[in-house]
Structure 1
Amino acid sequence: MPVDPYILLLLGTVGLAALFPARGTAADVASGASTAAIAFLFFLYGARLSTREAINGLKHWRLHVTVLVCTFVVFPLLGLAARGLVPVLLTDPLYQGLLFLTLVPSTIQSSIAFTSIARGNVPAAICAGSFSSLVGIVVTPLLAAALLGGSGGFSADSVVEIVLQLLVPFVAGQLLRRWIGAFVTRHKKVLGLVDRGSILLVVYTAFSEGMNRGIWHQIGAVPLAGLLGVEAVLLAVMLTLTWYGGKALRFDRGDRIAIQFAGSKKSLASGLPMASVLFGAHASLAVLPLMLFHQMQLMVCAVIAKRRARDPLDPTGEQAESRSPAAA
């Protein structure tokens, strides 16, 4: 079962914030740097996304609509249904984080990687992940305003802030892609480190604020175990729905694989910056469910992708239906 090294860095950052939280002037500096890092992160997203590929990807609109429905309709409905688990399995703050998890966009990089390993439709996975991230910049804060309201320190005014901090830099990156796109492509590994470093800074700032406000005393071992169990069920349900739902909609094997991996996963890279904007001082609890779900989805989807890669294909290119996606 693979453990993403980046998750270890995230956990280390959380530990650093617990031992040495930023306070006073240092907290102000960290907050300003985090804001700038988030804007730069989404600027890079805009510079990387090929406008031509996005337009060409619209030709496969049924697949993209299916992924968007899974990401921004089915997931949130399951999140709302989980409200009945409070306070039996989840505390209210952890539930708010779980509900926020169901609102964030799908992943891009890992969806592409797993689709490739499983011999699925890689171009579809690229476009589906990109569209989800782009739509999520607008849809996620709107859904949060509607479903979370004023809970957890969230304010509807955050919608305007997230547009200024995330959408505007993204559009700027798209407009400047003509001149900087080649540079971004050539130095994608270095800029990838900038991506991840920006997210680590966001995590440190959010968890420092949480330590300063003492909100970590709200979490116990039992609610944390309950959260892990609920997330395991959530992931299993989405993996099953995306796979058999794709079959019911008459998608071929390659498309179903892209739908399963893009429609059942949530983006840590997009979710963390959004949470810091939307929740402010309460972001540390809001992102905890997302961090745990991210590692869980990587571990489970890696196993599924490797199993699907070994499945025999019939003459039409379809995969044998001998196992359910969760069992695979």
Structure 2
Amino acid sequence: MRYKTLGGTGLLVSEICLGTMTFGGGGFWTAIGTLDQSVADRIVARALDAGVNFIDTADVYSAGVSEEITGRAMLNSGRKRSDIVLATKVYSQAGPGPNDRGASRGHIMDGVKASLKRLGTDYIDLYQIHGLDQVTPVEETVRALDDLVRQGHVRYVGVSNWPAWRIMKALGVAEQHGWARLATLQAYYTIAGRDLEREIAPLLEAEKLGLMVWSPLAGGLLSGKYDREGKGPQGSRRVTFDFPPVNRDRAFDCIDVMREIADARGVSVARIALAWILHQRFVMSVIIGATSPEQLDDNLAAADVRLTPEELASLDKVSALPPEYPGWMVERQGAARLPS
């Protein structure tokens, strides 16, 4: 297992992050996963044994049950709390009231207390705003996160599913006031969905934010277990919960090339899809969720795959983004360079 710094900080996290959205179930979440405590204990222990030190959850997963199971699994693993970098998120509807969601100071303060209790810990390593609040001023959100850091409840802060302009504004506000700076962005990114390369990836590199990739297999679509008509294993996630949205023609063109590489290497298509992401220089960590220890093992093995320059070139070609303004104009005009 390799480790990278958490954005521009000095904290080291594994390039594979264990996601716990499959822990719990109930209602809507049953389509994602229904793992009970015993299976979750095995998955967490196996991930830690493989060198994973980074675990990500959220208050909304299974209405808080995922956090409870995650906290107990960490305790049952026998590892020291300081050996695990624990991340969770706040934003989504956590109760019936109008203030039980969002990125307001009120909801953030209520949310962190509830998460700490469910997780059975006295601090959260990485606390993330789970979505874009278009009502709350960004200054209010950033100030609340800074207060949590100063109070010791949270050590680092990040956001998820934010556009580039909003991230940059938050960074500017933090810089202006001397508040805690965003360290990470959690975002969707796959070989079949490279949209964030247009604006977000350059921002991450310029501002030294770490990218945590969610749904790196596009909800299982890139596992190689589905055909072009969408048929897959009975009861599998994409059959019951068709998310995130994907251009299927592009996705299956990518799968065709990945399958050739996978077959030649004797590995799964999923492993190649994950390995491609891990080869991208702006990616800090890839979040993998598992419904079984066997699936976890296959995904963890992606960290050992070293794609050749030729394989990377073929994958980049089939998955290349279509031209979009202002990108095509920048390319046409050429980059400004210092005279030699």
Shared fold (TM-score greater than 0.5)? no
Higher helix share: 1
Higher strand share: 2
Shorter-chain TM-score bucket reads under 0.3
- Alignment TM-score, normalising by the size of structure 1: 0.25
Point out which structure has higher relative CO (alpha carbons under 8 A, 6+ apart). 1
- Alignment TM-score, normalising by the size of structure 2: 0.25
